[in-house]
Amino acid sequence: MSEVIGGVFTSHVPAIGSAIARGLQQDPYWKPFFDGFDPVHEFLHREKPDVAVVFYNDHGLNFFLDKMPTFAIGAATEYRHEDEGWGISFPRPYPGHQALSWHIIEEVVKSDFDPVTCQAMTVDHAVAVPFELAWPGAEEFPVKLIPIAINTVQHPLPSARRCYNLGKAVGRALESWQGDEKIVVLGTGGLSHQLEGGRAGHINSDYDRFCLRNLARDPEALLQHDVLDIVELAGSQGVEILNWIAARGALHGSVRELASNYHVPISNTAAATVLLENRVTVSA
Amino acid sequence: MLPLAQIDDSGRRMIPGTPVFDGDAAQAGYPLNAMCYSFNSQANRDAFVADEEGYMARFALTPAQLAAVRGRDVNAMIAAGGNVYYLAKLAGIFGLNVQDLGALQTGVGLDEFKAGLMSHAVTERHVAQLEQAQ
């Protein structure tokens, strides 16, 4: 039987990718953020997951405004990162897991979700940066990727509850998968930040701490805010917390926080990394 | 936790200093954002640099969008429907990152904008004790 071992939640700021490309992990500006990944590396080394299911938002690499899906699930044999406009493309390919992708698609559609399905798909920094952070250095990524993109770009965005329920449906699909893979779930983006408008540079540590405090033990607390509440609280890009909320929804077992690192600022962003363990609750 | 909501004439909620990229903005901004999306390709970035006017003509930018790009006016690009995720690709051609964009939009110098971010500076780290008996 497959097993969902836990979740890794992290910011995905493009500047982190630039810092990786330039080898700045030990630089004083960057070190406090990168050090937050030590417990994640230990966890992934110990648990050795086979599959990563990643909830993220595309910022204009695979999807543009000509066709903008609210939810999209990858079902490709392989995914690649490409140049997003600033000349960085991470070379390691991301192997896919088509059979599990289609199983997830089947199950979430049964749960009344209607995702776009993608057999050819590039993934942007919102997947590439977390993968570089989680599995640095290795010649090939040791996990297969299932990307699940959520529209956090063009309003109306799906509600926090809708994203959480999508995550729950994905979690049910993972539980019913008959393979023996170990699966880790990723949620990327956030925390508070805003890139545009007169409020550019907005940071809200109170809201960020509210999310960090409740992510493991009471994720439904994050569902009390509608999307524009979240935009007001977290900033117009801070709404990427929707990806975290969806990923948290996919953890159905007994969930415990193993590590949390909140570091402000990275570029314009309140950056955070959280590691949650998920243990299957055994019924007698 | 939230201040009283502000509502505009058409009943939409307004968040001060925060453009919400909705259907109206996406429709108005389409030509500008489409051009910016094309800058994922180095060849297209080079073509824009070589002939800015000729490149813009291929995307049928509105007069307001043309003026905003010619004037390197980020606020005008946003007002004309530009979305910052796509504009970031154009800004990169001009050698500007998102912190430069933040300073330009808020009317402060780059150092002052960075100082504003640093005023929130904090690092909070928690690591659970691993259970010994496993």
At A144-178, the pLDDT tens digits run 999 999 999 999 999 999 999 999 999 999 999 99
Q: How far is B47 from A12, CA to CA, in rounded Å?
A: 30
- B19-118 fold: Protocatechuate 4,5-dioxygenase; Chain A (1.10.700)
Q: How far is A64 from A72, CA to CA, in rounded Å?
A: 13
Residues 6-35 of B with CB under 8 A from A: 13, 15-23, 26, 30, 33-34
- CATH number for the segment(s) A3-279: 3.40.830.10
Q: Which residues of B touch A278 (CB under 8 A)?
A: none
Q: Which residues of B touch A83 (CB under 8 A)?
A: 40-42
Length of chain B counted residue by residue? 134
Q: Does A29 touch chain B (CB under 8 A)?
A: no
Domain ranges of chain B: 19-118
Please report which confidence band the pLDDT of residue A70 belongs to, taking 50, 70 and 90 as the band edges: very high
Q: Which residues of A touch B45 (CB under 8 A)?
A: 85
At A226-271, the pLDDT tens digits run 999 999 999 999 999 999 999 999 999 999 999 999 999 999 999 9
Q: How far is A27 from A273, CA to CA, in rounded Å?
A: 18
pLDDT number for residue B3: 57
At A198-219, the pLDDT tens digits run 999 999 999 999 999 999 999 9
Q: How far is A74 from A61, CA to CA, in rounded Å?
A: 14
Q: Does A89 touch chain B (CB under 8 A)?
A: no
At A143-153, the pLDDT tens digits run 999 999 999 99
Structure tokens at A201: 């540079």
- The tally of CA atoms less than 13 A away on the side-chain side of residue A159 is 8
A202 is catalytic: no
Q: How far is A239 from A57, CA to CA, in rounded Å?
A: 10
* Residue of A193, A202, A225, A263 marked catalytic: A193
pLDDT number for residue A85: 96
CA torsion, ordered A35, A271, A267, A127, to nearest 10 deg: 90
Mean pLDDT by 10 residues, chain B (134 residues): 71 93 98 98 98 97 98 97 97 94 95 97 91 46
pLDDT, chain A, mean = 97
Structure tokens at A234: 């977290």
- The tally of CA atoms less than 13 A away on the side-chain side of residue B113 is 25
pLDDT number for residue B134: 42
Test A199 with B17 for CB contact under 8 angstroms. yes
pLDDT number for residue B132: 47
Closest residue of chain B to A199, computed from CA coordinates: B17
A193 is catalytic: yes
Closest residue of chain B to A84, computed from CA coordinates: B40
From A208's Cα to the closest Cα of chain B, the distance in A is 12
At A36, which amino acid appears? G
SS3 A172: helix
Q: Which residues of B touch A87 (CB under 8 A)?
A: 42
Sign of the C-alpha dihedral computed for residues A179, A49, A277 and A219 taken in this order? negative
From B51's Cα to the closest Cα of chain A, the distance in A is 18
Distance of CA B39 to the CA centre of its chain: 15
Domain ranges of chain A: 3-279
From B47's Cα to the closest Cα of chain A, the distance in A is 13
pLDDT number for residue B109: 96
At A111-138, the pLDDT tens digits run 999 999 999 999 999 999 999 999 998 8
Q: Please tell me chain B's helix, strand, coil percentages from 3-state DSSP, rounded to the nearest 5.
A: 55, 10, 35
pLDDT number for residue B2: 57
- Residue A42's contacts (CB-CB under 8 Å, 6 or more residues apart) are none
Test B18 with A256 for CB contact under 8 angstroms. no
At A85-115, the pLDDT tens digits run 999 999 999 999 999 999 999 999 999 999 9
Stretch (H or E) spanning A110: helix A98-110
Sign of the C-alpha dihedral computed for residues A176, A179, A183 and A188 taken in this order? negative
